[in-house]
Structure 1
Amino acid sequence: MSGTLNNATIRTGRSFDLGKMNLRQLWIAYLTYPTILLYFALVIASVTAATWFFAGWGPTLVSIVAVILVYPLAWYLLHRYVLHGRTLYKMKWTASLWKRIHFDHHQDPHLLDVLFGAPVTTLPTIGAITLPIGYLIGGWGAAATAFGTGVAITCIYEFFHCIQHLNYKPRSAWIQRMKARHVLHHFHDEDGNFGITSFVVDRIFGSYYQDAKARPRSPTVFNLGYDVKEADHYPWVMDLTGSPPRDRPDGARPEAKLMRDNTRTAA
């Protein structure tokens, strides 16, 4: 991906394909993406609110640490049991939600447009998790701190999530291992390695696996169980897509080699 022809911008509305981008192009895309700009603005607003309703340094720091500790568990539970669950696509009124928040991402893992969660779903979720934690610790000031921390962590998660799908080999051994485990989640067996920046919770819940030799390849790794047979019974996602669910996303064949290379490097 080079030049202005392939560089997506807010003005053109072109899609970003992480499989064709380098690290510099990712930084430009990330720092100009509307969702990320909204998150940045909300972090600033949260800092402002936390300052206005200042709860004291103790409650402020405790709320930050509490969110940092709770966030990986909350993400894991949502990722495993909601995003990978099969309940939402079986109801007409939630089928479009499931399609947007995760099915599209597994159908085309390199597409930045669906890698980022939609703010209409992410922000209420962040608020539901963080605001009660902060409020119980130190009232509205700490609640604002907790919410801002949650949004900031989401920004970090989203960037590393992009790295995991980027046509780029990280220099850091830690990021290489992280990327290799996530590639396995998308191209070998989706029922494991649910973490983004850490797989500690996966280890606790027994869903962590290190390489492709650890378990057989899942036949539903690209469609999350929503295959043609399921689509016949629950057609709403397929109707929205305009075509039957795919068993293989675009670019999956080259990615198979990338998965082998990443796993070998990170082993």
Structure 2
Amino acid sequence: MTFKELVVAYFQYPAIIAYLVLSVVSFGVWLWQPATLAQTVVSLAVAVMAYPLAWYLLHRWVLHSQWMYKVKILSPVWKRIHYDHHQDPNHLEVLFGSLSTTLPTIVVILAPIGWLIGGIGGAAAAVGAGLLTTCFYEFCHCVQHLKYKPRNKWLAQMKARHMAHHFHDESGNFGITNFFWDKVFGTFYERPDRKEKSETVFNLGYTPETAERYPWVAELSGGVATGHPTQRAKD
């Protein structure tokens, strides 16, 4: 895949278009009820700086949770927002986060912070920053999952670490572009650090045995797929 093809695939996804449109709306709200320059800068900075930590916490303790699939009403959400992605990490349709869950999360976390800093204008600035940061994260996520070999050393390094999360051991490397919080919480690793491959790297612990007790994800998925995604595609 060329860089141009990567960019085309990225901008074709509806959620990305929605994030960009809503970021323009956020800017319009800021123009309508502007915060001061200092309040705006602080709101933007807090939103951008808080994003890696928020992503880490959500990724580790929600997306990789062992509780969502046990609740019938939450099992379809868990299946869509992360189980399907780990079942087939390179499948474009489930590569991006679900708009129905990602957008409310951005607003719920960042709008109150921005409002406390600078009222409506601060909230608009923080939400807009969160939306654009999400676009950046999703672009890096595309680089990591699609058949594109980055020339940039930093992107190549991020891709290797994220691919280890998906194909070797899902219990670490929860960051996308920033592994600072993985290092803080002790979940960062380089591929050679862990000799043994996780048996649950593709199913996140939702095994056929687990499905017998909590069947809802399996019912929605037509069963529980096992083994490497490329091998399943050949069968």
What is the one-letter code of the residue matched to 1:111? H
Structure 1 residue 251, shift from structure 2 partner: 6.1
The equivalences for 1:77-156 within 5 A come to 77-156=57-136
What is the one-letter code of the residue matched to 1:65? A
Contact 1:184 / 1:212 at 8 angstroms: preserved in 2? Answer: no
Q: 1:57 to 1:252 in 2, by over 3 A?
A: farther
The size of the alignment, in residue pairs, is 233
For residue 145 of structure 2, what is the aligned residue in structure 1? 165
- Asked if residue 205 in structure 1 is aligned to residue 205 in structure 2, the reply is no
* In 2: Cα distance, 1:92 partner to 1:203 partner: 34
- For structure 2, the residue ranges without an aligned partner over 5 or more in a row are none
Task: Give TM-score, length-normalised by structure 1.
Answer: 0.84
For residue 220 of structure 1, what is the aligned residue in structure 2? 200
Q: Once structures 1 and 2 are overlaid, which stretch shifts more, 100-109 or 215-224?
A: 215-224
Contact 2:168 / 2:201 at 8 angstroms: preserved in 1? Answer: yes
For residue 29 of structure 1, what is the aligned residue in structure 2? 9
Cα distance per residue 1:91-134 (max 9 Å; x no partner): 11110000000000000101111111111111110011100110
* In 2: Cα distance, 1:187 partner to 1:22 partner: 23
Q: Which runs of 4+ in 1 moved over 6 A?
A: none
What is the one-letter code of the residue matched to 1:77? L
Match for residue 38 of structure 1 among 4, 11, 18: 18
- Asked if residue 176 in structure 1 is aligned to residue 156 in structure 2, the reply is yes
Structure 1 residue 246, shift from structure 2 partner: 2.3
Contact 2:6 / 2:148 at 8 angstroms: preserved in 1? Answer: no
Structure 1 residue 24, shift from structure 2 partner: 1.9
Task: Give TM-score, length-normalised by structure 2.
Answer: 0.96
Question: Alpha carbon RMSD of aligned pairs, Å?
Answer: 1.4
* In 1: Cα distance, 2:64 partner to 2:46 partner: 26
For residue 14 of structure 1, what is the aligned residue in structure 2? none
